[in-house]
């Protein structure tokens, strides 16, 4: 993900990593605005949150999320 402090999603994922907590996510196979997008919804543990700086690219965070509690299979209507 793009390294963007101040962004609510970035800050929530970073906080979950730093506190060994979880963050609620829906990992969809398409954009959330696409009808029919689907994937697991639940609480995820963030097991990796490292910064990567390519010479001519945006600064990004390499993030690994592991499903800790499955809530439902979410489908966008």
What are the tens digits of pLDDT across the range 37-64?
A: 999 999 999 999 999 887 777 899 999 9
Contact yes or no for 45/68 (Cβ under 8 A):
yes
Contact yes or no for 38/29 (Cβ under 8 A):
yes
35 pLDDT above the threshold of 90: yes
- Say what the pTM is: 0.86
The domain in which residue 54 lies consists of 8-75
Structurally, how many domains does the chain consist of? 1
Q: Which of 67, 68, 77, 74 is nearest to 28 (CA)?
A: 74
Contact yes or no for 10/3 (Cβ under 8 A):
yes
Is 46 within a domain?
yes
Report the half-sphere exposure of 24 (CA within 13 A, side-chain side): 3
Is 69 within a domain?
yes
Is 16 within a domain?
yes
Is 65 within a domain?
yes
Is 25 within a domain?
yes
Angle at 39 between CA 76 and CA 1, to 5 degrees: 100
Is 2 within a domain?
no
Is 12 within a domain?
yes
């Amino acid at each position: 993900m793009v390294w963007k402090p101040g962004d609510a999603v970035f800050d929530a994922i970073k906080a979950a990593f730093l506190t060994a907590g979880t963050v609620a996510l829906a990992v969809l196979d398409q954009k959330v605005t696409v009808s029919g997008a689907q994937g697991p919804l639940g609480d995820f543990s963030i097991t990796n949150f490292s910064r990567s700086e390519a010479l001519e690219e945006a600064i990004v965070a390499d993030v690994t999320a592991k499903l800790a509690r499955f809530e439902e299979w979410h489908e966008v209507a």
